[in-house]
Amino acid sequence: MFRNMATSLIRTLRIEEGVTGQPKVPGRIVTTVPKAKELRPIVEKLITMARKAKKISDAAAEYGSTAERGSDAWNEWRKSDQGRNWVNANSSALTLRRRAFSELRDSEAVDILFDDLAKRFADRDGGYTRIVRLAAVRLGDAGQQAIIEFVGVRDRVKSRKRTAPLVESAAQ
């Protein structure tokens, strides 16, 4: 159940126009409070894995090649020391990606996680999700509902402190 919920939460980030059944707001799902509390650490660990893989891939980029895959130049690069160094440097990022796939079992969700969310939360050290309790209870069993969403897009902005207008004295 949590695998499906995590996949649903991650897949809501990519909205395609004209397709029915798309979420109204990207990056959020509605569930019950206990389920949201259990889902939060699962999703946050996946995002942390994606962030680590992004750092590893960025470091391995120095050994990369600009040759087209499958061409003679690319084959030469793969057999060279630089190609072997790239494989060795990038292997732990591939391991993290495979671990994420083993938890989610959805390649599109893994792509979104490693491509979009890793870049989005590159500078953030934790707290990638928020749980907001809803006032409305679920019909049928009156379960307390909540929204679990990714932070950073619709965050509240602190407003300036308003000061009272100056009162002029009547003695002037």
pLDDT tens digit sequence for 74-98: 999 999 999 999 999 999 999 999 9
Give the pTM.
0.84
Of 147, 154, 150, nearest to 118 by C-alpha is 150
HSE (side-chain half, CA atoms, 13 Å) at 101: 9
pLDDT tens digit sequence for 42-61: 999 999 999 999 999 999 99
Give the angle subtended at the CA of 152 by the CAs of 148 and 158, to the nearest 5°.
Answer: 110
Helices 81-104, 2-11: inter-axial angle, 10-degree rounding: 120
pLDDT tens digit sequence for 21-36: 888 888 999 999 999 9
State how far the Cα of 60 lies from the Cα of 89, in Å rounded to an integer. 5
